[in-house]
Structure 1
Amino acid sequence: MDHMKQSCYELSLPVTEKCNPISRDIDRANGKQMVQILRRCDAEIFEKKINHDPFHQRLYSSPVIQTMVDVAKRVEMMLRDPEESLILLSGCGTSGRIAFLLVTSFNEMLNAQKQKQICSYIIAGGDRALLTSQEAPEDDPVLGACTLDKVCAGKKRVLFIGISCGMSAPFVAGQLDFCLKHLDVFTPVLLGFNPVHMARSEPMQDCSFHFKDVAERMTAEQRHKKAFVLNPVLGAEAISGSSRMKGGSATKIILETILLAGHEAAFRGKITTPEYISARIAASEMVYETTYSNSDELAALIHKAGESLQKKAHVYYIGWQTLGIIGLTDASECIPTYGADFDDIRGFINNGFSKMKNKEGDLSSLGPEFVIGHKDFVDTILPSLSQNDMVLFLFTVNDDLHEVTSLADQVRRRTSNLHAIAHDLEKFSVPERVCIMFETVLHITWSFSSEDVNSFVMRQHWELSTKWCLNAISTGAHVLKGKVYMNYMIDLRVTNSKLYRRAINILQQFTGCSESECERALLRAIYSTDDLSEDMTSADVWKHTDTANRQDRVVPTALVMIRCGCTLAEARHHLDCHPVIRDAVSACFNSSENKSTVD
């Protein structure tokens, strides 16, 4: 595609799907260069404005801050009158996992202060989606509404926060539509990171409306403060469309700020003002600065993780408390994003599901993907651990350091490829005897006030910092493995309508072909045929994605077929000859360019 066509094509995409020029060449970067690229991309979360589009609202923009104040006041009202009240966070994939983490942490704080726990979460696909990719339920708005209705039964006041980073998830759209029909009970909030006019406008399964309809109705109700839309623009993701990164981080920052503001207003008499909200966001910006100031250690961990994946070995996150949840979340996101196997990067948490405190309890009987305790790691992984496998501990000075050193000692008997991300406090540091057990330690020391020690706020900082670190490590490792072309997730799994549309977008981006041509090639790859039947081409998207979920290398196969004008079998042979996806795509492009030159 020539530069002019590419520029026009980019303009047609929502912000969350665009290519970020900062990271365009991330597939050619080494570990240190990747850290600087990711640092610059994450800095866009806190930028006061976007130079090329001054009309986009930013995180620090006055309308965004004021909406956060308004929603925080609704939280305060719920906490002051908790009987028959509910604060409910809902999302799909990363958004649902962040919702789970926030609800769990906030309820723990309420419980510790002997206050009624009134927060709950919904994640599309249920609790198994906390650990594995359960993408299909995202496409079901009716399921979303029914799940919401069931969870809220008997409640007279519900603050519902629906999270959809791309403002595209039908599951969440169905829930927001349900809320808008029952404003006597619900105050709906939409959190996403596109302007409303860029919300998804494609028809949804069994529905007469689409996401953009819902977003516009929400905006209309916001004038009367009956609903709220929070949609600051963060800039494009470092890996195009990978909203687990900036989108997930901003979701955590915004909702923690709102929940804490409401809590402090209800129980500590602090008035929620725009200045208070801005100060909390600035504190998160400080976490960003502190995290990325350890760039050398972070680059070393990216390099080590990349080496492990390149050697077809594994990366294991061994976390304590909520840092274990951050590790589990990061690992689970690699499967749909990079077409990874579940055991390429895995997370484990101390005390397993009893520490998770998820609604559905222990899920370990569902399969190996749900075996998540430290004891499970010792029993099932440690005996076969090799020097090529990377083990990364995630802990803080407040965790049981005897337990940390005991498990580290067991790992060291199998491999020296043992590393750590360790958080401590000024004048309260992780002892040297602990640090020397690890080959690399990303050691982050935090300043604190007396009221912050062991507090909800400090734990928030540790979680956010660890999220940024692990996002960088898993992203960098998959880049080094060759799973990214330029800054596109070229080997994503096409498991729901959002990813189906993204796959077609990627094919258009790299071929210059029409949407219909790219979709036809994608369907050939999905159904493993060169001769598509009418039943295949006319089937609903959910049928396509259900079939695609059982196929590997769908997007690369379609891309090779288009670029080389070849059959399905020839495309698969080409990919078999180049096991690194990035190399296969590059060879395909070079081949087609040489052919054009000869012609």
Structure 2
Amino acid sequence: MPGTKRYQHVIETPEPGEWELSGYEAAVPITEKSNPLTRNLDKADAEKIVKLLGQCDAEIFQEEGQIVPTYQRLYSESVLTTMLQVAGKVQEVLKEPDGGLVVLSGGGTSGRMTFLMSVSFNQLMEGLGQKPLYTYLIAGGDRSVVASREQTEDSALHGIEELKKVAAGKKRVVVIGISVGLSAPFVAGQMDYCMDNTAVFLPVLVGFNPVSMARNDPIEDWRSTFRQVAERMQKMQEKQEAFVLNPAIGPEGLSGSSRMKGGGATKILLETLLLAAHKTVDQGVVSSQRCLLEILRTFERAHQVTYSQSSKIATLMKQVGISLEKKGRVHLVGWQTLGIIAIMDGVECIHTFGADFQDIRGFLIGDHSDMFNQKDELTNQGPQFTLSQDDFLTSILPSLTETDTVVFIFTLDDNLTEVQALAERVREKCQNIQALVHSTVGQSLPAPLKKLFPSLISITWPLLFFDYEGTYVQKFQRELSTKWVLNTVSTGAHVLLGKILQNHMLDLRIANSKLFWRALAMLQRFSGQSKARCIESLLQAIHFPQPLSDDVRAAPISCHVQVAREKEKVIPTALLSLLLRCSISEAKARLSAASSVCEVVRSALSGPGQKRSTQALEDPPACGTLN
């Protein structure tokens, strides 16, 4: 299926693929579809996993194809035009900063990305002697930055109340709400509130599904569905009173895992847009498509430079997998904002793979006292909320063992004396010490430091000749590259551990309504049984050993999620019960006796009398109400 490329690209992007065909999983939003590139991800070795996930990331930069339906893409004229219009609205705030504010908002990965970007752009403004104008909102507050609290994004009213607090007394507020799948109630409520108060607020919605695929089931504490909110925004966009930025970037390499491609595309799109806005104001240049395209190409370059290290990424993936298999721990120790990326990756493994919070953890080396809105929320909250260098030295370093892996993540512009001192202390306790190092052409890692790392991923960046934004483009490239490496490594390690069925997260933790519907879709996909039967089995697995009453069946989704998020192996338990036509207790016993969740499910799928194999269904059912 040939594509038509209007622009010169740094990388070779895959041609528009099977997922774009109108009949491919038609009832499922793009962000929840199964990516045809990775349908056999669970059978791949480490090297193949890196290659496949790299190809999925390259889809971010695809242009529109010649097939129908044609989804708008990142390089589509309509998307670039909207990016320029939004940049213009941000410029208005930057030019008249008194009473102005730019709010970046989201839940889960999107919320953590708003934290990272607000830190970066406030640092940019402070470096120019300007008053910082950015703030972030994350569902559940600052604790959600460093811990898995995905359930907090299910409340529209929570989102509105948080927005009111930060915008109090402001005259002009641009609110950029991020929901990768166009589904988070936390963001929907904020967008609706902004549209009701356009004298002060300008809402901008960022996601990666067409509006027609936005979630359309009721939000428990709000009057509108997400789709209705997005449709209203589209109408108001005609008068530039609201904007929707929603290019298609293709399905995730791991179905529905928006921490990966969705998180990366969010970073690329918004950093391009916001950096162009700042350049226009500070340098007095005209905002143009050319400016956007120049920055976008630097992110393509980041993909090329990162995945040129595929063999070393695969080596790190195997080492992380070995540590996890031996019940060891993986510690990601990152300097400055690379530490934020490390924290994000560790936190997201909890609900994605049903991991323990100690399995993969990130730590931030460097001063972070002015990064958080409410740093008090993280003080004395227990081990799950530790993130600093002191926390690593006091609670992790003394207990390191030979089954653990420690990954140092830094640039050659960081304090290398500090890096070496900490690495030497770690080497005294643990030999599995690795490094991900970023440098610029002409820089080299000092020999004494290099000797400390048996395995090293060294990413060398070309010099940039942007007169204004070069330093920040390079910073953003390094962050994105680190994100791609860590996402690939942690995902691949769990694939190698047998946590994935085809390219589905069979053992995810049901932490919010989005994941409840994803769980139901997986049960229907792999069991081939009716929606009603799958709902019954899912609720039985969630509430076991309590028998299901009519009152429990009729309870809101939030009640089921509240119980499910504290339990492990809910989805595989329900699926085995469906496939083997056995009780929940028998399904749980089979899982307990199995060495791998996915192996016991594969065995059940291939057993006698099963209509479904492990081939993905072409048209799994859409989400909706329980009735």
**2:576 maps to 1:564:** no
**2:226 maps to 1:218:** no
Moved more, 211-220 or 307-316: 307-316
CA contact (8 A) 1:354 1:362 kept: no
Alignment-derived partner of residue 524 in structure 2? 508
User: What is the CA-CA distance between 1:364 and the residue it aligns to?
Assistant: 3.6
* TM-score (norm: length of structure 2): 0.92
Alignment-derived partner of residue 17 in structure 2? none
Moved more, 7-16 or 259-268: 7-16
User: What is the CA-CA distance between 1:456 and the residue it aligns to?
Assistant: 1.6
CA contact (8 A) 1:398 1:454 kept: no
Q: Secondary structure at the match of 2:136?
A: strand
For 2:104, the aligned partner's letter is: L
User: What is the CA-CA distance between 1:378 and the residue it aligns to?
Assistant: 2.1
User: What is the CA-CA distance between 1:412 and the residue it aligns to?
Assistant: 0.8
Alignment-derived partner of residue 4 in structure 1? none
**2:543 maps to 1:521:** no
CA 1:130–1:326: 2 relative to 1, 3 Å: same
Q: Superposition RMSD on alpha carbons, in Å?
A: 1.8
User: What is the CA-CA distance between 1:569 and the residue it aligns to?
Assistant: 0.9
CA 1:479–1:282: 2 relative to 1, 3 Å: same
1:486-497 paired onto structure 2 within 5 Å? 486-497=502-513
5+ residue gaps, structure 1, are 1-6
Moved more, 313-322 or 360-369: 360-369
C-alpha distance in 1 between matches for 2:133 and 2:371? 18
Alignment-derived partner of residue 271 in structure 1? 286
Query: What is the CA deviation profile of residues 115-145 of structure 1, one whole-angstrom value per residue up to 9, with x for unaligned ones?
Result: 1111100000000000111122211111111
C-alpha distance in 1 between matches for 2:611 and 2:156? 47
Q: Paired residue for 2:153, among 109, 116, 138?
A: 138
Q: Paired residue for 1:331, among 346, 360, 364?
A: 346
5+ residue gaps, structure 2, are 1-21, 614-627
1:74-473 paired onto structure 2 within 5 Å? 74-351=89-366, 353-354=368-369, 356-361=371-376, 363-449=378-464, 451=467, 455-473=471-489
For 2:293, the aligned partner's letter is: S
C-alpha distance in 2 between matches for 1:355 and 1:162? 23
CA contact (8 A) 2:298 2:473 kept: no
For 1:77, the aligned partner's letter is: E
Number of aligned residue pairs: give it. 591
User: What is the CA-CA distance between 1:282 and the residue it aligns to?
Assistant: 1.3
Q: Paired residue for 1:581, among 557, 579, 597?
A: 597
Q: Secondary structure at the match of 2:508?
A: coil
Q: Secondary structure at the match of 2:158?
A: helix
CA contact (8 A) 2:142 2:377 kept: no
CA 1:97–1:23: 2 relative to 1, 3 Å: same
CA contact (8 A) 1:352 1:374 kept: no
Query: What is the CA deviation profile of residues 217-263 of structure 1, one whole-angstrom value per residue up to 9, with x for unaligned ones?
Result: 00001111111100000000000000000100010011111111111
C-alpha distance in 2 between matches for 1:411 and 1:496? 37
Alignment-derived partner of residue 566 in structure 2? 550
Q: Secondary structure at the match of 2:606?
A: helix
C-alpha distance in 1 between matches for 2:48 and 2:450? 26
User: What is the CA-CA distance between 1:595 and the residue it aligns to?
Assistant: 11
For 2:442, the aligned partner's letter is: K
For 1:196, the aligned partner's letter is: V
User: What is the CA-CA distance between 1:280 and the residue it aligns to?
Assistant: 1.1
Moved more, 42-51 or 548-557: 42-51
For 1:278, the aligned partner's letter is: L
C-alpha distance in 2 between matches for 1:282 and 1:291? 14
Same amino acid, percent of matched pairs: 45
Query: What is the CA deviation profile of residues 275-302 of structure 1, one whole-angstrom value per residue up to 9, with x for unaligned ones?
Result: 2112211110111111001111111011
CA contact (8 A) 2:143 2:377 kept: no
If each structure's helix is expressed as a fraction of its own residues, which one has the higher value? 1
CA contact (8 A) 2:343 2:363 kept: yes
C-alpha distance in 2 between matches for 1:355 and 1:385? 30
CA contact (8 A) 1:310 1:480 kept: no
**2:553 maps to 1:540:** no
Q: Secondary structure at the match of 1:349?
A: strand
C-alpha distance in 2 between matches for 1:95 and 1:592? 43
Moved more, 87-96 or 586-595: 586-595
Moved more, 292-301 or 583-592: 583-592
User: What is the CA-CA distance between 1:112 and the residue it aligns to?
Assistant: 1.3
CA 1:595–1:463: 2 relative to 1, 3 Å: closer
User: What is the CA-CA distance between 1:28 and the residue it aligns to?
Assistant: 1.1
User: What is the CA-CA distance between 1:13 and the residue it aligns to?
Assistant: 0.2
User: What is the CA-CA distance between 1:454 and the residue it aligns to?
Assistant: 8.2
Alignment-derived partner of residue 47 in structure 1? 62
C-alpha distance in 1 between matches for 2:105 and 2:449? 39
Moved more, 331-340 or 346-355: 346-355
* TM-score (norm: length of structure 1): 0.96
For 1:123, the aligned partner's letter is: I
Q: Secondary structure at the match of 2:369?
A: helix
Query: What is the CA deviation profile of residues 11-59 of structure 1, one whole-angstrom value per residue up to 9, with x for unaligned ones?
Result: 1000000000101111111110101101111110001124654520000
Query: What is the CA deviation profile of residues 344-371 of structure 1, one whole-angstrom value per residue up to 9, with x for unaligned ones?
Result: 0001111464374444346141110111
Alignment-derived partner of residue 476 in structure 1? 492
For 1:460, the aligned partner's letter is: F
CA 1:373–1:129: 2 relative to 1, 3 Å: same
CA contact (8 A) 1:530 1:568 kept: no
CA contact (8 A) 1:352 1:372 kept: no
CA contact (8 A) 1:167 1:194 kept: yes
Q: Secondary structure at the match of 2:363?
A: strand
CA contact (8 A) 2:516 2:561 kept: yes
For 2:248, the aligned partner's letter is: V
C-alpha distance in 2 between matches for 1:344 and 1:574? 24
Query: What is the CA deviation profile of residues 482-522 of structure 1, one whole-angstrom value per residue up to 9, with x for unaligned ones?
Result: 11111000011111110000000111110111222111110
C-alpha distance in 1 between matches for 2:426 and 2:67? 50
C-alpha distance in 1 between matches for 2:323 and 2:379? 26
For 1:59, the aligned partner's letter is: L
Moved more, 535-544 or 508-517: 508-517
For 2:492, the aligned partner's letter is: G
For 1:129, the aligned partner's letter is: S
For 2:600, the aligned partner's letter is: A
Alignment-derived partner of residue 3 in structure 1? none
C-alpha distance in 2 between matches for 1:73 and 1:431? 45
CA contact (8 A) 2:295 2:473 kept: no
Query: What is the CA deviation profile of residues 276-329 of structure 1, one whole-angstrom value per residue up to 9, with x for unaligned ones?
Result: 112211110111111001111111011111111111111110110000000001
Q: Secondary structure at the match of 2:361?
A: strand
CA contact (8 A) 1:95 1:248 kept: yes
User: What is the CA-CA distance between 1:385 and the residue it aligns to?
Assistant: 1.3
Query: What is the CA deviation profile of residues 405-443 of structure 1, one whole-angstrom value per residue up to 9, with x for unaligned ones?
Result: 111101111121010000001112322332221011110
CA contact (8 A) 1:318 1:348 kept: yes
For 1:498, the aligned partner's letter is: K
Q: Secondary structure at the match of 2:375?
A: coil
